[in-house]
Chains A and B, each alone.
Chain A
Amino acid sequence: MSTREIFDSRIESGLLLLPTLVVSVVFLYYPTAMAVRTSFFDSSFGQADEFVGLENYAALVTDSAYHSSVLLSVLFAAVVVAGVMAVSLYLTFLIHEVDTGQGVYLISVIWPYALPPAVGALVFLFIAHPTLGVLTGPIEALGVDVDWFNDGPQAFVVVALAAIWKQIGYNVIFMIAAMNNVPDTLTETARLDGVSGLRRLVSVYVPIMTPTLFFLVVINTIYAFFSTFAFVDLLTSGGPSNATNILIFDLYQEGFSFFNFGVASAKSVVLFLVVGALMLVQFRVTDEYSYYGA
């Protein structure tokens, strides 16, 4: 690499970097640092912060409700990530195999992604509301009693479905690009050899798409832990009886309903560490199985 002198002065280059630096510091690094700091304090409205050391963390270690929230979040993320990947992959394959009208299918799959999460949650509420939902009637006709305002497992399923539904579009965009990058001659060879469609997907496309799929696993994990807040908030508010009280919603309540900023900060630090640890494991595992083209 040759170094090129693009800018005459350091000031000029510094000025160009400044907006990015300011935004990052003000909205990312400073809040992060403050959250870590606050987690060591007893902090609430109308009182001075009092340093308590690791007391907030100690409280979390002994809080069984919090433990179940951690487990619930991991389970929720696993369901959402697996669901999003499987459904998106299959839909992508179907769209890939279609000769005419690809654009129409693509748009109809992608549009939920274009909605803001809160709007998405409200739309889903109209789809699945226990009494008013568009799909409630047909599902009850199958013999299922739709009652997720009271039934914990049902609520979990509904929130997970909403989260999956919202994220499919994003995944399909990346997957269709990756699938279209698989050379046509591989598809043709498989067709000449009489390889069935599903086997072609699993044994030919998926291995070649692994770098993209790995990227999506990471993005979807982050999504499941952080960006599903709106669905919980608008559909179930964490209930019934904490059945959908995932970490991101739990810490929001701790901070902004109960105003325990110290504990809420400790919870967000833990969430950060949990997701960070998961990322690390994912990088380790998937790197081994990723095929980065020759």
Chain B
Amino acid sequence: MTTVTLRNLRKKFDDVVAVDGIDLDVEDGEFLVIVGPSGCGKSTTLRLLAGLESATDGRIEMDGRDVTAVEPKDRNVAMVFQNYALYPHMTGRRNITFGMKSSGDFGDEEIERRVAEAADTLDIADLLDRKPEAMSGGERQRVALGRAIVRDPDAFLMDEPLSNLDAKLRIEMRAELARLHSTLGTTTVYVTHDQTEAMTLGERVVVMNDGGIMQVDEPQRLYDFPANRFVAEFIGDPAMNMIPVDVEDGRAVHDAFEIPLPLADAGDPVAADRNGVGEESLDDGRRAVLGVRPEDFRLPDPRTDDGLPRIDATVNVREPLGDSLLLHCSIGDASCNVQAAPRTDVGAGETVSVTYDPARLHLFDAETGEAFYHSEAHVSEAERPVPASVE
């Protein structure tokens, strides 16, 4: 069992800094997902862990042992690649056993036993005598996983292993990976650009951008308490609405609306505990960006009064998604998306009255993009409005 520790890890390719001094602790047996857009340094980080790239600066430790300069083969990690990296001229069985046989660390009987075990775990016994060209993408990735698990490595490193699969297969394999991890309990670092994969698979998720770590947290906390604008907009689909506002007198003020920002009594231990962000500073006149997720806007039932402000929004485009209806709206000069009930009778060009969940407001600094306020920390369960049914 293995812990992995990165300290001030840097990697420069000529003039490009791919990984810019990151610190990260991967716990023993953890499934850690690194997610980020293309070029954010997530794959480079994984390759540094594998030893396929050498670090420009910083340390990599496995179980407290400094492995920064250790050869890939001596790190006892197994890697799974996006393009499967199966040897095309070898059968499934040869692909799985080739590395073990070449390294000479295993006896023939031991190899046989392990292959049978892995084939059983992954249900690939019938693929062992086929060559990769006679396998589907999903089958190839299963064999590649088989090759990774037979060696019983200290850690699995997975570089977008599902990205070449079609959507349906990807969901199946996702569940398979989760099951595999709970069976084996091996420390796993998984890189993906797909936030759904990150959210569903990761026990913790690392969001990276521009070679730096933006936030490390459990998936739900990442969603509920994004540390900055980047995480807020990257996690969640459709993305969080971002509306520039001024903070005045405990209210978020925009040309087209004003909404009160719930604030717990000073010294409320619950608020202090639940808030993911340090000290809040709702100073008057502070320039900020108000973040509201599309599903936290709602079209209120006109018959009831929940006491919340109403915001006028003009619908530009309606996108029926089946399970919901996404309305692209303008609120003053800001554009934002509102998720409404699926069969809501609203057409393009109409003006609708929109309200919001006061517990799900986020404020980000207009300059730095750092979050400085999450309203959820200030709203107790009792104060929350019951989600209005809109039929």
Given known A193-B99, A193-B102, contact A293–B88 (CB-CB < 8 A): yes
Highest count of chain A CB atoms <10 Å: which of B50, B51, B79, B147: B79
Cβ of A203: which chain B residues have Cβ within 8 Å of it?
A: 98, 102
Give the shortest distance, in Å, between B233 (CB) and chain A (any CB). 32
B-side interface residues, number (CB < 8 Å):
27
- Tell whether, in the assembled complex, residue B85 and residue A189 are in contact, meaning their CB atoms are under 8 Å apart: yes
For A172-205 the 0/1 string (1 means CB < 8 A from B) is: 0000000000010110111111111001000110
Please tell me which stretch of B21-29, B70-78, B110-118, B277-285 contacts chain A, meaning at least 4 of its Cβ atoms lie within 8 angstroms of it. Answer: B70-78
Binary per-residue interface labels of chain A (269-294) against chain B in the complex, 1 for a CB within 8 Å, 0 otherwise: 00000000000000000000001011
**Once bound together, how far apart are the Cα atoms of A189 and B73, in whole Å?**
10
Give chain B residues whose Cβ lies under 8 Å from the Cβ of A188: 50, 52, 72, 79, 81, 85
Interface residue from B81, B88, B105 paired with A189 (Cβ < 8 Å): B81
Answer whether residue B83 sits at the interface, using C-beta atoms and an 8 A cutoff. Answer: yes
CB of B304 within 8 A of chain A? no
8 A-B interface contacts by CB (under 8 A): A183-B83, A189-B147, A191-B73, A192-B79, A193-B100, A193-B102, A194-B103, A194-B105
Report the nearest A residue to B85, measured CB to CB.
Answer: A185
Q: Is B168 an interface residue (CB 8 A)?
A: no
Please determine whether B102 and A294 come into contact, CB atoms closer than 8 angstroms.
no
How far does the alpha carbon of A199 sit from the alpha carbon of B104 in the complex, in Å?
12
Q: Which residue of the partner chain, among B50, B51, B73, B85, contacts A186 with CB atoms under 8 Å?
A: B85
Query: Contact: A194 with B87, CB < 8 Å?
Result: no
Among A188, A192, A199, max chain B CB count under 10 A is at A192
> Interface of A with B (CB < 8 Å)?
183, 185-186, 188-196, 199, 203-204, 207-208, 291, 293-294
A188's nearest neighbour on chain B, judged by CB, is B52
In the bound complex, how far is the Cα of B77 from the Cα of A196, in angstroms? 17
- Main SS at interface, chain B: mixed
Q: Are A195 and B72 in contact (CB under 8 A)?
A: no
Q: Does B89 belong to the interface (CB within 8 Å)?
A: yes
Chain B hits for A291, CB < 8 A: 88-89
Inter-subunit contact B151/A193 (CB<8 Å): yes
B10 to chain A, nearest CB (A): 20
Contacts beyond the supplied A192-B52, A192-B99, A193-B102: 10 A-B pairs with Cβ under 8 Å: A185-B81, A185-B83, A188-B52, A189-B79, A192-B77, A193-B98, A193-B99, A194-B105, A195-B99, A294-B133
Q: Are B133 and A190 in contact (CB under 8 A)?
A: no
Which residues of B from 28 to 74 have beta carbons under 8 Å from A?
50-52, 71-74
Check B132 for interface membership: any CB of A closer than 8 A: yes
Among B51, B71, B85, residue most surrounded by chain A Cβ atoms (within 10 Å):
B85
Pick the 9 closest A-B CB pairs, nearest first: A193-B99, A294-B133, A194-B73, A185-B85, A194-B103, A195-B102, A207-B89, A185-B81, A291-B89
Q: What CA separation (Å) do A194 and B101 show in the bound complex?
A: 10
Is B98 a contact of A195 with CB atoms below 8 Å?
A: yes
CB distance from B137 to the nearest CB of A (A): 12
The residues of A that contact B72 with a CB separation of less than 8 Å are: 188, 191-192
Contacts of B100 in A (CB 8 A): 193
Those of B93-140 within 8 Å (CB) of chain A: 98-100, 102-103, 105, 131-133
Evaluate contact between A204 and B99: CB separation under 8 angstroms: no
The distance from the CB of B375 to the nearest CB of chain A, in whole angstroms, is: 46
**Hey, which chain B residues are within 8 Å of A190, CB to CB?**
99, 102
How far is it, in angstroms, between the C-alpha of A185 and the C-alpha of B103 when the chains are bound? 18
A189→B102 contact, CB < 8 A:
no
B331-355 to A contact mask, C-beta < 8 Å, 1/0 = 0000000000000000000000000
- A contact residues around B105 at 8 Å (CB): 194
A193 touches B73 (CB 8 A): yes
- Enumerate chain A residues within 8 angstroms of B102, measured Cβ to Cβ: 190, 193-196, 199, 203
A201 to chain B, nearest CB (A): 12
- Residues of chain A with a CB closer than 8 A to B89's CB: 207-208, 291
Residue in A195, A196, A207, A293 with the greatest tally of chain B CB atoms within 10 Å: A195
Q: Which residues of A contact B71 (CB under 8 A)?
A: 191
Interface contact B133-A204, CB-CB below 8 Å? no
